[in-house]
Structure 1
Amino acid sequence: MLGAVLVLSIRLGSVPIHWSELLALLGGQKTAHALVFMQIRLPRVVLSLVTGVNLALAGLLLQTVLKNPLADPGIMGISAGAAFGATVVMLLFPAAAAVIPLAAFGGGMAAFLLILAFSWRQQLAPIVLILAGVAVNTVISGGQSVLTTLFSDRLQGVVLWLNGDLSGKTWGQIGLVFAYSVPAYLLIVLLLGKLNVLSLNDTAAASLGVPVRFYRLVIAAAGVYLAAVTVAQVGLISFVGLIVPHIARLLVGGNHRVLVPFTILVGALVVSCGDTIARTIVAPVELPVGTIMAILGGPFFLFLLLRQKGGSRA
């Protein structure tokens, strides 16, 4: 499915590429749309893959360590915190573009720690975490609104970026987000076994000699980091981290040695589909992919809430 969607995503857009020309381009031939293919269409498709992988993995890691099926970087305010940190640099220190991913990580991590602090006395109960996340998200969004109002003369493409936008990205920007993401990928590979252990209750995990709090903090930080470096480049894309892990679990179960690879595949598939729809549904006008994911992800989130069966008592 992912392969088919990638081919369609490359072919479709405001400038469609016919099958014969696509085959010629893939064979290395120069055609009328060679520049569109190499400098516009292909970078966007690759970025949609990396974005889907990062946001899906971030959601899976947070859901695992918090034991909360509704944990998601967007819902919990982590993406908003990352966006706020990135926006501060973009508006106030535009010459320091290279540190935007680090500023985004700082903002996302600060939001995550605030949520934990508000929820700690309630034993990190799922409903309390979500409510704290919504509250933090609201406050940060208010701060973001104040910032953009005060510096409205410098906004330029910031507003479009905040809605989640994959257009106009260069190979250099894609390389940057991938380079920042690689350390987190390596960490996840090293900690695959620990993810399975953390899925158990704390007593069982401790009996296996695993320092639960340490690994929770490390794995949660990896999830926040992946969400933050992605938001720094593409803006806010909601619900990917929420819906993709659930779809992957339905397909392969809860063993993280299988679940993580399938989450990667499904995350890439979902965002690639969303971006293709965003580029074609009202062509030649292109919608932000964040808007499409919000429209598709909102009903799924409501479906999950209905399935909680008294989540406040869980």
Structure 2
Amino acid sequence: MSRSRLTSGYHKAGGDKSFLIYRPVGLVALLSLAALLFAGAIAATMIGSAPTSVPAVLSWLAGSGKNELLSIIIGQLRLPRILLALLCGAALGAAGAAMQSTTRNGLADPGLIGVKEGTVITVVAMLLFFPQMQAFWRPFLGLAGGAAVAIVVIGIARSLSGLRFVLIGIGVSWLLSSAIALFMTMTAINEVQTAMIWLGGSLHAASWSDLRLALPWTILGCAILLATTRSADAAMLGDMASVGLGIRARHLNAARLSASVLLTSACASVVGGLGFVGLIAPHLARLCFGSSQMPLLFGSAVIGGLLVLAADTVGRSAFAPVQIPAGILMAVLGLPFFLGLMLQRRDTL
């Protein structure tokens, strides 16, 4: 493997035809975040109404210290919840990064333009009106609802860039939220309670089946985004430059937006409304990794996983025995962040 140093602290690894451009500072930052993610997952495994120790957790994970109590606490309750939080956080972070890059709008987020609400309303309708349907159908229904809303928003806005796109998405989100509230008032109270917990973005009922349900869709969405990173980097140079490089902007945008909708729908179909992750994670990732798509996607995914894991761990332990859904804590954190971005861009609005 040949390596050469480029300008502005970038390095090139690989040959003339197949190579990777990276920054050592960004690589160190990514490895540090990954180590923090692993440490956070171990800490979350220890925290709870029945606390465990680091040696007990590590020995159980290694298969040398298994017993019935630890198998229930870690294997059935905490580990699937932690892994689902990491998976959904990573997927939402990557989806937000792709959507912001595609629309060239730092305010774009799957939750702000109605994709999350489109997914949620279809799954809520399934839970309330067709409770006998198997959970297997949730991602399919969620994908259909999220894609329909994305098509409507793009059709009304007639452009992926500019504030118009975001504002129309927010308006559609409010409309769908009102429709969800209408559903809740028309349903029996026992069914409403189940839907309300799910709407808050709670992972309290996370299971291995939920993880298996979301994992294939997440892998597919991330694979599409990773396969389009080089074309997306070229598209960031501008329309004329991308056309000169042979980039089909319409196909590229369709693929990346479809992947973002797929990732958002897969997560919302199993954990409900987790908002602002796709807004916050890409902005934090750009501080460490810049705007190059490959490191930005990885950084956004890791930071998104950290955000959801932290919100879920705080929500289930800080107010015990009451559990606060992770989606509520993310909204408390995300709203000031969103207002700060709006104030930062007040001269261009």
Q: Deviations 1:198-223 (Å, cap 9, x if unpaired)?
A: 32322221221111111111110110
Looking at structure 2, the residues matched to 79 and 212 of structure 1 have their Cα atoms a distance apart, in angstroms, of: 25
Q: Report what 2:7 is aligned to.
A: none
Letter of the 2:238 counterpart: N
Q: 1:186 aligns with which of 218, 223, 233?
A: 223
> Any conservation in 2 of the 1:82–1:106 contact (CA below 8 Å)?
yes
Superposed displacement of residue 124, structure 1: 4.2
Q: 2:50 aligns with which of 15, 23, 42?
A: 15
Superposed displacement of residue 309, structure 1: 4.1
> Any conservation in 1 of the 2:200–2:328 contact (CA below 8 Å)?
yes
Q: Deviations 1:62-89 (Å, cap 9, x if unpaired)?
A: 1111111000111111101110111122
The answer to which structure has the higher helix fraction is: 1
Q: Report what 1:147 is aligned to.
A: 183
Q: Report what 2:327 is aligned to.
A: 290
Looking at structure 2, the residues matched to 125 and 62 of structure 1 have their Cα atoms a distance apart, in angstroms, of: 10
Letter of the 1:209 counterpart: G
- Highest relative contact order (Cα 8 Å, sep 6+), 1 or 2? 1
> Any conservation in 1 of the 2:98–2:297 contact (CA below 8 Å)?
no
Looking at structure 2, the residues matched to 291 and 277 of structure 1 have their Cα atoms a distance apart, in angstroms, of: 11
Q: Classify 1:279/1:306 alpha carbon distance in 2 versus 1 (closer, same or farther; 3 Å).
A: same
Q: Pick the structure with greater CA Rg.
A: 2
Q: Deviations 1:251-282 (Å, cap 9, x if unpaired)?
A: 01011122111122111111111111111211
Q: Classify 1:255/1:17 alpha carbon distance in 2 versus 1 (closer, same or farther; 3 Å).
A: same
Matches of residues 248-259 of structure 1 in structure 2 within 5 Å?
248-259=285-296
> Any conservation in 2 of the 1:236–1:290 contact (CA below 8 Å)?
yes
Structure 1, unpaired ranges of 5+: none
Q: Report what 2:260 is aligned to.
A: 223
> Any conservation in 1 of the 2:42–2:54 contact (CA below 8 Å)?
no
Q: Report what 2:3 is aligned to.
A: none
Superposed displacement of residue 228, structure 1: 0.7
Looking at structure 2, the residues matched to 33 and 251 of structure 1 have their Cα atoms a distance apart, in angstroms, of: 38
Looking at structure 2, the residues matched to 148 and 198 of structure 1 have their Cα atoms a distance apart, in angstroms, of: 44
What is the root-mean-square deviation in Å for CA atoms of aligned residues?
1.6
Structure 1, 85-94 or 228-237: larger mean CA deviation: 85-94
Letter of the 1:137 counterpart: S
Looking at structure 2, the residues matched to 50 and 152 of structure 1 have their Cα atoms a distance apart, in angstroms, of: 33
Query: Could you state the TM-score of these two structures normalised by the residue count of structure 1?
Result: 0.94
Structure 2, unpaired ranges of 5+: 1-35
1:301 partnered with 2:338? yes
Q: Classify 1:23/1:209 alpha carbon distance in 2 versus 1 (closer, same or farther; 3 Å).
A: closer
Structure 1, 110-119 or 88-97: larger mean CA deviation: 88-97
Q: Report what 1:135 is aligned to.
A: 171
Q: Report what 1:232 is aligned to.
A: 269
1:60 partnered with 2:97? yes
Secondary structure at 2:132 match in 1: helix
Structure 1, 78-87 or 89-98: larger mean CA deviation: 89-98
Structure 1, 29-38 or 131-140: larger mean CA deviation: 29-38
> Any conservation in 2 of the 1:196–1:256 contact (CA below 8 Å)?
yes
Looking at structure 2, the residues matched to 71 and 53 of structure 1 have their Cα atoms a distance apart, in angstroms, of: 17
Looking at structure 2, the residues matched to 89 and 11 of structure 1 have their Cα atoms a distance apart, in angstroms, of: 35
Structure 1, 188-197 or 147-156: larger mean CA deviation: 147-156
Q: Report what 1:158 is aligned to.
A: 195
Q: 2:153 aligns with which of 115, 136, 146?
A: 115
> Any conservation in 1 of the 2:124–2:195 contact (CA below 8 Å)?
yes
Superposed displacement of residue 155, structure 1: 2.9
Secondary structure at 2:274 match in 1: coil
1:169 partnered with 2:206? yes
Superposed displacement of residue 23, structure 1: 3.7
Structure 1, 153-162 or 240-249: larger mean CA deviation: 153-162
Looking at structure 1, the residues matched to 160 and 296 of structure 2 have their Cα atoms a distance apart, in angstroms, of: 24
Looking at structure 2, the residues matched to 69 and 228 of structure 1 have their Cα atoms a distance apart, in angstroms, of: 21
Superposed displacement of residue 20, structure 1: 4.1
> Any conservation in 1 of the 2:45–2:78 contact (CA below 8 Å)?
yes
Looking at structure 1, the residues matched to 133 and 72 of structure 2 have their Cα atoms a distance apart, in angstroms, of: 30
> Any conservation in 2 of the 1:90–1:100 contact (CA below 8 Å)?
no
Q: Report what 1:6 is aligned to.
A: 41
Structure 1, 238-247 or 186-195: larger mean CA deviation: 186-195
1:79 partnered with 2:112? no
Q: Report what 2:8 is aligned to.
A: none
Looking at structure 1, the residues matched to 46 and 236 of structure 2 have their Cα atoms a distance apart, in angstroms, of: 41
Q: Deviations 1:124-173 (Å, cap 9, x if unpaired)?
A: 44221121011101111111111122123533511100000111222111
Superposed displacement of residue 27, structure 1: 3.9
> Any conservation in 1 of the 2:316–2:323 contact (CA below 8 Å)?
yes
Looking at structure 2, the residues matched to 23 and 44 of structure 1 have their Cα atoms a distance apart, in angstroms, of: 17
Superposed displacement of residue 94, structure 1: 2.5
